[in-house]
Structure 1
């Protein structure tokens, strides 16, 4: 006996299989397009741009000059008899530094003085004889002229002897001694240098673009590699009347007290000329990125991403820079971590702080 089983149709077989497949697939969700390939947020440090006090400064290199400076020299040709100083001595004005031999001049002075005394006696006797009408008036005039010539000769000899005493023209510090007893000196021979170091001048060039901002009495601050960590305070004492046509700069002279004699003529100083303080947008220098000719900062948008803000900078000083254009007060910028940013990248703020340009550490550098 045969039994006929019903043959299921193709439709009846496919429907349950599809249902099982769809049911199994519902247990996992397919990755969305937004999650696929999205970079993680960059961890950075940001700051808010805000106005802060800013003092314009002009920096320049200056050379120290003594208030008074001279090379002490001999006026005559003679042998050094005695040296009255040592190298580096402080001397008063008029102090004798070197005595030259002058025996011949002293003897000649004695002869001239004797001749002057004789001429004076002849003149006095002539006046008595004129009153007695024993000699003419013309003879008395001749005797007067002889007397005057003798006195002039005496004055000349005394001046000649005075030239054999080389004296300090002003008070100051002597340099290295250049002569010794017994040496023959001639006119122009340098005995030593003499500098008045109680106050010194510092001459430095300033570009003509700053000419309108220059004035006497402006404060100066100077530093020297010879005295690390020491700042010398002074003020502008004079401004040159001419601008150098070759460099387009004008020479400014600063006056610096020097009670400890630390500053010496010829030293090189870094001079900063300050002006009145003003309000400016100042940000840390590490927040400004330079790529080619482009200068920009990374500004944080409202969506938590960054964008490039092209800026124009002004003066730079001690890790801070003045922003002239491109940013406004209240903008939040990236200070540290600029080297890993790209436009539109999401960020995570590690530590927000006011953008004052002070007290910020170094970041990842200026990257593009």
Structure 2
């Protein structure tokens, strides 16, 4: 009997839940239908496409870089026995930085040089004998081979001996060193970082519409963010032929100001491309663009309906875009409410 009562109660509960869900669904459908009936259109605002003056001058930020920068590695093994240059020192190409213990290699080199000199004497003697047919051709060839082997061994040891003298491959300042007297080094171990900031470079990125205005050799005003009260200049040295992933092109300036010694690699700079060019162009607000800058479009209103219109644009620095194709002066585009607008949507201008 108890079981029947429990089953009956469960059935009643399930029925009540089902009835409540059905009523909720019915109410939601009725609300949605009512909303659709009451929202026959979407309220929007419009913006008129107008001709406005645009200044073609532009700026681009970048970081100052040295003309050369390298990490000098050891090419041999041994303990450092002499230090000639330290962090902060200026070195010319070929200057000795550190001396690595070369006693063992120098001994091997001396032996190899004696063997090579003896092989050279033997070869000359055998060449004289060969001229009188006193020896066979094979004997001469064996002595030529012995001399070549001895000469190659001497050359290899000469290279190893030279590697014990770590010299600067470029001129510049030692920005960091990684050794002390007695440090045991091995091939591939970093010894110093050398930077050459003469000349100093500033690399910036510009858009495809800007790159066409820049030419090699142009003198460009440069502002150093850390030295706002000083004026600098740089000359365009390099312009990349291919855009990067952000569709921008690299422009490299070589700094040529007398007071540029104060500028340090790693500082931020701004290249000011001043061309004094003013043009009349069609402009609209960036917010009126639907889609991405790569595939842009706008919505016009025709007979109360939103109509999608693809356009070609050029982004400007003031939050607007230049319309290159797809619109004409006087056209009105939807400026707000775009989140709910699609092709054929009924709209009403507020």
Q: Normalization by structure 1: what TM-score?
A: 0.59
Alpha-carbon distance in 1 for matches of 2:267, 2:65: 8
Q: Residue 106 and residue 201 in structure 1: after superposition, are their counterparts in 2 closer, same or farther (change >3 A)?
A: same
Task: Report what 2:37 is aligned to.
Answer: none
Task: Report what 2:134 is aligned to.
Answer: 134
- 1:194 is displaced (CA, Å) by 1.4
Alpha-carbon distance in 2 for matches of 1:169, 1:76: 16
Number of residue pairs aligned between Structure 1 and Structure 2:
237
What is the correspondence of 1:20-35 to structure 2 with a 5 Å cutoff? none
Task: Report what 2:208 is aligned to.
Answer: 208
- 1:223 is displaced (CA, Å) by 2.2
Say which structure is richer in helix. Answer: 2
What is the correspondence of 1:300-319 to structure 2 with a 5 Å cutoff? none
Identify unmatched segments of 5+ residues in structure 1.
1-51, 282-289, 294-313, 317-325, 327-368
2:64 counterpart of 1:74: no
Alpha-carbon distance in 1 for matches of 2:103, 2:189: 21
- 1:264 is displaced (CA, Å) by 2.2
Q: Residue 217 and residue 130 in structure 1: after superposition, are their counterparts in 2 closer, same or farther (change >3 A)?
A: closer
Backbone CA RMSD of aligned residues:
2.9
Q: Is the 8 A contact 2:238 2:252 kept in 1?
A: yes
What is the correspondence of 1:290-309 to structure 2 with a 5 Å cutoff? none
2:81 counterpart of 1:97: no
Task: Report what 2:250 is aligned to.
Answer: 251
- 1:315 is displaced (CA, Å) by 6.5
Alpha-carbon distance in 2 for matches of 1:147, 1:213: 64
Alpha-carbon distance in 2 for matches of 1:227, 1:279: 30
SS at match of 1:271: strand
Task: Report what 2:122 is aligned to.
Answer: 122
Alpha-carbon distance in 1 for matches of 2:97, 2:234: 33
Q: Deviations over 1:243-295 (max 9, x none)?
A: 11x311111111103655222222221221221x35689xxxxxxxx9x99xx
Task: Report what 2:148 is aligned to.
Answer: 148
Q: Deviations over 1:21-80 (max 9, x none)?
A: xxxxxxxxxxxxxxxxxxxxxxxxxxxxxxx9x974221111111112211221122211
Q: Residue 169 and residue 125 in structure 1: after superposition, are their counterparts in 2 closer, same or farther (change >3 A)?
A: same
Task: Report what 1:60 is aligned to.
Answer: 60
Alpha-carbon distance in 2 for matches of 1:315, 1:86: 47
Q: Residue 135 and residue 250 in structure 1: after superposition, are their counterparts in 2 closer, same or farther (change >3 A)?
A: same
Q: Is the 8 A contact 1:197 1:258 kept in 2?
A: no
Q: Deviations over 1:151-173 (max 9, x none)?
A: 12111111111111111112211
Task: Report what 1:180 is aligned to.
Answer: 180
Alpha-carbon distance in 2 for matches of 1:130, 1:74: 47
Q: Residue 219 and residue 131 in structure 1: after superposition, are their counterparts in 2 closer, same or farther (change >3 A)?
A: closer
2:219 counterpart of 1:219: yes
Alpha-carbon distance in 2 for matches of 1:158, 1:165: 12
- 1:222 is displaced (CA, Å) by 2.1
Task: Report what 1:6 is aligned to.
Answer: none
Alpha-carbon distance in 1 for matches of 2:85, 2:242: 41
- Structure number, greater radius of gyration: 1
2:235 counterpart of 1:228: no
Q: Which moved more, 1:74-83 or 1:106-115?
A: 74-83
Identify unmatched segments of 5+ residues in structure 2.
1-52, 289-315, 319-328, 330-350
Q: Normalization by structure 2: what TM-score?
A: 0.61
Alpha-carbon distance in 2 for matches of 1:175, 1:258: 23
Q: Is the 8 A contact 1:199 1:258 kept in 2?
A: no
Q: Residue 59 and residue 241 in structure 1: after superposition, are their counterparts in 2 closer, same or farther (change >3 A)?
A: same
- 1:188 is displaced (CA, Å) by 2.5
